[in-house]
Amino acid sequence: MPNRHSPDVVIIGAGVVGAACAYYAARSGLTVAVVDRGPVAGGTTGAGEGNLLVSDKEAGPELDLALLSTRLWRELSAALPPETEYEPKGGLVVAPDEPALQALRTFAEGQRKAGVTAAEIPADRLADLEPHLAPGLAGGFHYPQDAQVQPAQAAARLLAASGAALHLGEEVTAILRGPAGAVRGVRTPRRELLAPAVVNAAGTWGGEAARLAGVHLPVLPRRGFVLVTEPLPRVVRHKVYAADYIADVASGSAALQSSAVVEGTPGGPVLIGATRERVGFDRSLSTEALRRLAAQATALFPVLAGVQVLRAYHGFRPYLPDHLPAIGPDPRVPGLHHACGHEGAGIGLAPATGALVAAALTGAEPPLDPAPFRPERDFGPADAPTQEQQS
């Protein structure tokens, strides 16, 4: 069924990144349609913890993107309903020993130069920030810019505020292209949506969407488990994690890595996440992943040992070999834009991504240099087709 009012842009993906693209595109005056084979937040967004972190990012393009997002999330929190649960709670990174603390100092120094606020907390002051923290830590850093949102609500409210036409439960089966190769819309089992621009915000499935347009984008799944406890009074005030988390985030290793990020939520439960491992789309429970998260969380907060874990769930982070997302127009296919591959930082990086995509769609000045995120960049030797792209 041809659409009588063809939109200016079709966005594939109703996760938080697609929602932010829709929001900023609509604010730029474009009419928007969003298509997803599932519901809103049905993929990695719904499995996310809602981290808006600057603390875990070393100085560089991703940190610049995160800092821009931090500002945009603060603006959005005023524009979106309170159900979004924006909470600028701050992060606390702790070091178990003196060498780790020294490494953390060096890391934080680089971040400060890029515009991050980071305050060293000596060992004897850690309890002021987190009274239940285990004794014996060497010290830590407080990052007041770290914040949190409820990710599914954030995606849903951004979409609602965008006024985009939603086509949920419709899988894009083809990206339509004109005689010169430029995109002219998408096809689903129910309709053709014609538009001069298509945004691939399909997250972990962004590689498949790119393939529909005939281009290669090596998005890989990186599985993570999250534990959710029974509702508790506020025992954890910040996002608290050990310094080795930063090394895990930056690692490309396929092996299971974990360093628990522990945090309370407005609803009461404490979230403990998350592991990182490259095992394709394996949905089976890993008791080893749960063991490590639990061991690390109880090492940070011994008081949690007796607390009941009500739920465990997993998600698949969209992972690109160089740990940077793909954002912006794809010169190989005119009209095709990408906004995917944010790994574990998609909730946090969504607004800046949306702003960049909207600028590219309208020809406006980009809010920061988009070059590092070029989707056609060379992903290097790690970009070899592996088993993980199957499944």
Partner 1 sequence: MTTSPSDPAAGAGPAADLAVVGAGPAGLAAAVTAAALGLTVTLLDAGARPGGQYYRHPDPALGATRPQALHHDWKAFTGREAELRAYERAGRVRHLPNRQVWSVTGSGADWTVHSRTDDEAGQPVRARAVLFATGAYERQLPFPGWTLPGVVGAGGAQAMLKSGLVLPGTGVPPARAKPRARGRVVVAGSGPLLLAVAASLAAAGARVPAVVEAAGYGPYARHTGTLLRNPAKLAEGARYGGALLRHRVRPLLRHAVVEAHGTDRVEAVTVARLDHDWRPLPGTGRRIPCDALAVGHGLVPELSLATALGCATRTAADGTAALVLTPGLRTSVPGVWAAGETGGIGGAQLALTEGEIAAHSIAGRAVPAALVRRRARLRAFADAMGAAHRPGGGWTGWLPEETAVCRCEEVPAGRIREAVEELGATDARTVKLLTRAGMGWCQGRVCGPAVAALAGGGPAADRRPLACPVRLGELAELPVD
Residue ranges in contact with partner 1 by CB under 8 A: 14, 38-42, 46, 151-153, 156-157, 159-160, 166, 168-169, 227-231, 267, 269, 272, 283-288, 290-291, 293-295, 297-298, 304-314
Starting at the edge strand found earlier in the chain, the sheet holding 336-340 runs 165-168, 32-36, 9-12, 197-200, 336-340, 326-329
**In terms of CB distance, is 48 or 328 closer to partner 1?**
48
Closest separation in Å from C-beta 22 to partner 1: 11
Closest separation in Å from C-beta 308 to partner 1: 4
**In terms of CB distance, is 114 or 235 closer to partner 1?**
235
Q: Which two tokens stand for residue 122?
A: 């000596």
**In terms of CB distance, is 240 or 326 closer to partner 1?**
240
DSSP state of 364: P
Closest separation in Å from C-beta 16 to partner 1: 12
CB atoms under 10 Å from CB of 18, counted, come to 36
Tell me the residue length of the chain: 391
**In terms of CB distance, is 176 or 272 closer to partner 1?**
272
Q: Residue with structure tokens 């080795």? A: 244
Listed residue (192, 146, 204) closest to 18, CA to CA? 204
Closest separation in Å from C-beta 78 to partner 1: 20
Q: H/E element holding 242? A: strand 239-242
Burial class (CB in 10 A: 0-12, 13-18, 19+), 72: buried
Residue 354: φ, ψ to 5°: -60, -40
Burial class (CB in 10 A: 0-12, 13-18, 19+), 173: exposed
- Separation of alpha carbons 319 and 217, rounded Å: 11
Q: Which two tokens stand for residue 182?
A: 């430029």
Closest separation in Å from C-beta 79 to partner 1: 16
Closest separation in Å from C-beta 316 to partner 1: 14
Listed residue (118, 143, 122) closest to 261, CA to CA? 143
**In terms of CB distance, is 239 or 323 closer to partner 1?**
239
What single-letter amino acid sits at 250? Answer: A
Closest separation in Å from C-beta 105 to partner 1: 30
**In terms of CB distance, is 25 or 41 closer to partner 1?**
41
Is residue 23 within 8 A of residue 158, CB to CB? The reply is: yes
**In terms of CB distance, is 194 or 307 closer to partner 1?**
307
Task: Look at residue 145 and give its three-state secondary structure.
Answer: coil
Q: Which two tokens stand for residue 107?
A: 């890391």
Closest separation in Å from C-beta 372 to partner 1: 32
- Separation of alpha carbons 342 and 67, rounded Å: 15
**In terms of CB distance, is 40 or 93 closer to partner 1?**
40
**In terms of CB distance, is 305 or 371 closer to partner 1?**
305
Is residue 228 within 8 A of residue 309, CB to CB? The reply is: yes
Closest separation in Å from C-beta 70 to partner 1: 24
